[in-house]
Structure 1
Amino acid sequence: MTYFAGLDVSLEETTICVVDETGRLTKELRTASEPEPLVAALAGLGLPLERIGLEACSLTAWLHDELRAVGLPAVCIETRLANAAMKTMPNKTDRNDARALAQIMRTGWYRQVHVKSRQSRLWRSLLVARRTVLNEMRAIENVVRAILREGGIKLGTPARAAFAGRVREMAADEPLILPLVTPLLAILATMLEQLDRLTRQVLTIVRGEAVCRRLISVPGVGPITALAFRATMMSRSGSDSPGTSGRISRLTPSRYQSGETDIQGKVSRCGDELARTALYEAAHSLLTRSRKWSSLRAWGMQVARHRGMARARVAVARKLAVILHRMWSDGTEFRFGKEPAAAVAAA
């Protein structure tokens, strides 16, 4: 007889539930959310475990890798499907969640989540740290602008490096406002310095990665997008073979169909948010800033003329995901395409 286990992981403790192939409850226990106690608890059961299910969370990748390293059949499953099964329980408890996960493992009603390699997770942490600093800088800058508007000062749109100097220049004659913004400008100066340090780390990594250097040859794709795509698509083994691109960006429309009703909605946004955002920004840069002709940009501008720029960005972003994936897997370079004779004559 085979057995299936569900692990409800929290920060301090993990609840374990084991069921047999008929769904009968076999064993329940709790242990610390650390690899060694988990391995010891599962091995101490003395049961042939077919699958061990973990719901995706902040600790899952670490625990998943450690369990797989000792030969345990750990499976990371998608949170939405796990939540759908857990809602069938009348009460929300760790024990019931573990029981639901065990039954999901037994029935096979789950979608396995791609667990990224440790290297890709560290790269993603670097990108998230940089983005967090950038977002907080924008928030502080907006507070400074709001304070200046109290004195009727309209700052305009100075570059980030010139922001502090511009504020001091325009608020020099406001003795009540300048003391309010000075501490915020000091914080911005420190954050700008650390943002530059994080950006330099990204550039150093991209220079040392042949795949990233190839990807940035695509118009609109910079070091941030290239590293985000590589970190997202890298296989769990950490090799240069990328995973499948179709489900990761989730830049395809959602759909609701029932009987005679068939509604196509906005993009589902169910995939990797970091890669999706980077691809969208790359598409925006390609459509608005790139000056060199390419068949991709020409196609995107045609979509923009018929469907609007917002939809064109999404369409180009999705096509960029396919192109980058193909360039990576085939080791090919970006093809700009042959410019039409009419466009050459017009230029």
Structure 2
Amino acid sequence: MGIATTIGLDIAKSVFQVHCVDAAGEVVARRKLTRGRVLGFFENLPRCLVGIEACSSSHYWARELIARGHDVRLLPAQYVKPYLKRQKNDAADAEAICEAVTRPTMRFVPVKTPEQQSVMMLHRVRLMLNRQRTQLSNALRAHLSEFGIVAPIGRGGIEQLLAVINDENDPRVPADARLCLQMLEAQLMVVKAQILENDRRVRASARETELGRRLMEIPGVGPLLASAFVATIADAHAFKSGRCLSAWIGLVPKQNSSGGKEKLGSISKAGNRYLRQMLVVGAMAVIRYAERNGTRRPWLVQLMTRRTAKVAAVALANKTARMVNGRQQKSQAAGSPLGPSH
């Protein structure tokens, strides 16, 4: 039996599956491992090429295996799917990963550091907290409307409703209802305080790196988007050009071309949804400012005369993504962007 040179590792919460092949492509081992035995299994092997689908906890396992001397590649799940034969199970998934990782044209996901994952956690928690704030505000409005109490939209309206809730002498709100509404108010205050603290940490993470400060010089890129780019893209050189980054984010037209005839549709909306949303929001802010105060960018002026604001925003977001990629590549060529600059 040969020595394993390439391994497909299908990870899960408790049960892991490995598929090992030698240099000739012959199967060396197929094995199911419990979580506690995974690292011990790889410690006893010589240096191997290990393929893992990019999913939950994949970056952790990649870092652990790299620390043990293995060459680890993370693969997007959609690129592994074509190599899956018939039935789907853990063994078949591991075999498909093992096959896909050896393809010369395969695209891989750079392994993120714990610091990058921590910053991205700030962004994910921020989204969750904002959803909770909206839910609580809507709940307060809906419950009070049952007693004929309404207020204008926006934060000012919520403040008016909170004043009604805390007015013990207001006969329109029964005692039991007031108690429930005060519970919702307490939760809303906690969520608001957490959002403020989260935003403070996001701004700090964007400003503490040289790359983050450079990205914030681009029109339409604020601390939130700069921080997200630094945390999401571990290696800017993984993209051959700015257009490749824009395509990965999903800001380029979908193609349905055949027979030499090009057919382009709307944007693909593939890839990282969060970055795409932030880029479009930033582009809309630039366009709204240009509509009110004018702009010296001839390209944007001509675009705004031909297209609606939202279409122009998507085109501007595409251009912004290319500019971001250029600055990231220059910064990473000069040094690491992740540590604080001195």
TM-score, reference length from structure 2: 0.81
* Structure 1 gaps, min length 5: 236-240, 332-347
Whether the aligned pair in 2 keeps the contact of 1:16 and 1:29 (CA below 8 Å) is yes
Q: 1:24 aligns with which of 23, 26, 40?
A: 26
The separation in 2 between residues aligned to 1:173 and 1:84, in whole angstroms, is 66
* Structure 2 gaps, min length 5: 332-342
RMSD over aligned Cα, in angstroms?
A: 2.8
Aligned-partner residue type, residue 207 of structure 2: R
The separation in 2 between residues aligned to 1:220 and 1:270, in whole angstroms, is 21
The separation in 2 between residues aligned to 1:178 and 1:261, in whole angstroms, is 66
Whether the aligned pair in 1 keeps the contact of 2:81 and 2:96 (CA below 8 Å) is no
Q: 2:100 aligns with which of 104, 123, 128?
A: 104
Aligned-partner residue type, residue 62 of structure 2: H
Identity of aligned residues (%): 23
Aligned-partner residue type, residue 165 of structure 1: E
The separation in 2 between residues aligned to 1:21 and 1:114, in whole angstroms, is 25
Instruction: Name the structure 2 match of 1:272.
Output: 272
Establish whether residue 314 from structure 1 lines up as the match of residue 314 from structure 2.
yes
Whether the aligned pair in 2 keeps the contact of 1:23 and 1:106 (CA below 8 Å) is no
Aligned-partner residue type, residue 306 of structure 1: R
Whether the aligned pair in 1 keeps the contact of 2:75 and 2:101 (CA below 8 Å) is no
TM-fit CA distance, 1:190: 0.6
The separation in 2 between residues aligned to 1:152 and 1:299, in whole angstroms, is 52
TM-fit CA distance, 1:204: 2.3
Note closer, same or farther for the CA distance 1:303–1:258 as it changes in structure 2 (3 Å cut): same
The separation in 1 between residues aligned to 2:263 and 2:230, in whole angstroms, is 34
Aligned-partner residue type, residue 162 of structure 2: R
TM-fit CA distance, 1:306: 2.3
TM-fit CA distance, 1:194: 0.8
Q: 1:4 aligns with which of 3, 6, 18?
A: 6
Whether the aligned pair in 2 keeps the contact of 1:55 and 1:76 (CA below 8 Å) is yes
The separation in 2 between residues aligned to 1:116 and 1:102, in whole angstroms, is 21
Aligned-partner residue type, residue 269 of structure 1: K
Establish whether residue 64 from structure 1 lines up as the match of residue 66 from structure 2.
no
Instruction: Name the structure 1 match of 2:257.
Output: 257
Instruction: Name the structure 1 match of 2:132.
Output: 136
The separation in 1 between residues aligned to 2:16 and 2:305, in whole angstroms, is 54
Aligned-partner residue type, residue 221 of structure 1: V
Whether the aligned pair in 1 keeps the contact of 2:8 and 2:51 (CA below 8 Å) is yes
TM-fit CA distance, 1:302: 3.8
Q: 3-state DSSP class of the match of 1:92?
A: coil
Q: 3-state DSSP class of the match of 2:257?
A: strand
TM-fit CA distance, 1:164: 4.2
Aligned-partner residue type, residue 8 of structure 2: G
TM-fit CA distance, 1:304: 3.9
Q: 3-state DSSP class of the match of 2:125?
A: helix
Q: 3-state DSSP class of the match of 1:14?
A: strand
Note closer, same or farther for the CA distance 1:68–1:164 as it changes in structure 2 (3 Å cut): same
Whether the aligned pair in 2 keeps the contact of 1:203 and 1:223 (CA below 8 Å) is yes
Spell out, residue by residue over 1:283-314, the C-alpha distance to the aligned partner (whole angstroms, 9 max, x if none): 12111246665445x63454344232222121
The separation in 1 between residues aligned to 2:208 and 2:45, in whole angstroms, is 46
TM-fit CA distance, 1:23: 4.2
Spell out, residue by residue over 1:213-256, the C-alpha distance to the aligned partner (whole angstroms, 9 max, x if none): 23223333221111112222343xxxxx7653423422112222
The separation in 1 between residues aligned to 2:285 and 2:80, in whole angstroms, is 38
The separation in 1 between residues aligned to 2:101 and 2:238, in whole angstroms, is 24
TM-fit CA distance, 1:188: 0.7
Aligned-partner residue type, residue 128 of structure 1: R
Instruction: Name the structure 2 match of 1:338.
Output: none
Q: 3-state DSSP class of the match of 1:224?
A: helix
Aligned-partner residue type, residue 166 of structure 1: Q
Would you say how many aligned residue pairs link Structure 1 and Structure 2?
Answer: 317
Note closer, same or farther for the CA distance 1:283–1:100 as it changes in structure 2 (3 Å cut): same
The separation in 2 between residues aligned to 1:328 and 1:102, in whole angstroms, is 32
Instruction: Name the structure 2 match of 1:343.
Output: none
TM-score, reference length from structure 1: 0.80
Whether the aligned pair in 2 keeps the contact of 1:301 and 1:312 (CA below 8 Å) is no
The separation in 1 between residues aligned to 2:314 and 2:276, in whole angstroms, is 9
Instruction: Name the structure 1 match of 2:303.
Output: 303
Aligned-partner residue type, residue 51 of structure 2: G
Instruction: Name the structure 1 match of 2:336.
Output: none
The residue correspondences of 1:156-167 to structure 2 (distance < 5 A) are: 156-159=152-155, 162=156, 164-167=158-161
Q: 3-state DSSP class of the match of 1:156?
A: coil
Aligned-partner residue type, residue 265 of structure 2: G
